[in-house]
Homo-oligomer: A and B are copies of this chain.
Amino acid sequence: MSNIIPGSRNVQLDDIARKLGISKTTVSRAISGKGRVSEKTREKVLDCIRVMNYSPNMIAKSFSEKKTYNIGVVIPMDNMETEAPFFQTCLMGITKCCALRNYDTLVISAERDGITQLKRVLESRKTDGIIITRPLQSGNMEQLLTDMNVPYVTVGQSTDPDAVTIDSAHQEGCFELTSYLLMNNKPNKLGLIIGSMEQTVNRSRYEGFVKAVGAAGPNVPNKTVFLGVNGELQLRRVIDDLLRNECSCIICGDDIICMYVVNMLASIGKQIPRDIRVASLYNSMYLDMYSPPITALNFRAGDLGAAAANLLLNILEGKETPQETVLGFEMLIRKSTM
């Protein structure tokens, strides 16, 4: 049913122009709406385009306009995060949103704070702007982007004060969840396990925790905090530690850490929430499936991605944009902390 003739040369502006006996400039204008074109010509052109099944060669357009209609998305491809649902969901939000505005999404890999791939893509000039999905403390990427004068948005706080960011209210979320746990569970010992402090998001989480503990006043339980926890082995040691200290409530930095924790607890016969309570500072579908389901902060990664994309595209189109946008969260109180 397709009206494409296999192997045939693609129809281009000139073909439309010749067919209609007008110049390709006029055709170009009719399409873009940029110059003045009579209503009649415009309609003729648009009709003809449909009939002849024309669609512009975006590479030629890119070349001429010096605008690629691509954005690059930097995704971590190292260690534990490699399979983290957040980045996948975020990427989908970005991709869908871009498609709506006729942009495309180029994937750029990042290992730790390496910038090799980002640099390669920037030098190729294949993108108009960049989204950083995991800003790091080092700010290497932001530095490079600033040097090369490429617009970018970070999903989460950046150490670059000039960065345009779209963030979730991690600190507030963590504050509220911690406060809730302090109020409602009266844990005598509270544990916090957070991943690499290289990641700005983990700093926000930690700050929220500290504030909540501070605000709790004199009723603060003993607390044990583990920062920069990475990999299964470290995690195992940390949990052993917490259990030895008779910790009665563990707050996990994200869904992956939390799954490890829940499963390790199960493997040594500890029951949630009877023996120990568990909560996560980042929800994903998996935490909801657990039995019991795990209390968690929910942030909607897809929306974040979409918002980041819209923000970046607005910047690219010269629209005014806020320097910092914060999206809210839901606190999902589930059985694991009841």
Contact A120 B106 (CB under 8 A): no
For A66, give the chain B residue with the smallest CB separation: B59
Number of copies: 2
For A57, give the chain B residue with the smallest CB separation: B125
For A53, give the chain B residue with the smallest CB separation: B123
Complex interface: chain B residues within 8 A of A75 (CB)? 92, 95
Contact B126 A109 (CB under 8 A): no
Contact B87 A109 (CB under 8 A): no
Contact of A121 among B68, B104, B263 (CB under 8 A): B104
Contact B82 A10 (CB under 8 A): no
Count residues of A near B (Cβ-Cβ below 8 Å): 63
CB contact under 8 A between A117 and B92, given known A6-B149, A291-B266 = no
Complex interface: chain B residues within 8 A of A85 (CB)? 83
Contact B106 A106 (CB under 8 A): yes
Complex interface: chain B residues within 8 A of A69 (CB)? 124
Apart from the given pairs A57-B124, A58-B126, A60-B63, 9 other A-B contacts in the complex at a CB distance below 8 Å: A6-B148, A59-B63, A63-B63, A69-B124, A102-B120, A104-B106, A104-B121, A259-B289, A266-B291
Binding site for B on A (CB under 8 A): 2, 4, 6-7, 10, 55-60, 62-63, 68-70, 73, 75, 77, 82-83, 85, 87-89, 91-92, 95-96, 99, 102, 104-109, 117, 120-121, 123-126, 143-144, 146-149, 259-260, 263-264, 266-267, 284-286, 289-292
16 A/B residue pairs, CB under 8 Å, sorted by A = A2-B144, A4-B147, A56-B124, A59-B59, A62-B62, A63-B63, A75-B95, A83-B85, A83-B88, A83-B89, A104-B121, A107-B107, A259-B286, A263-B289, A263-B291, A266-B291
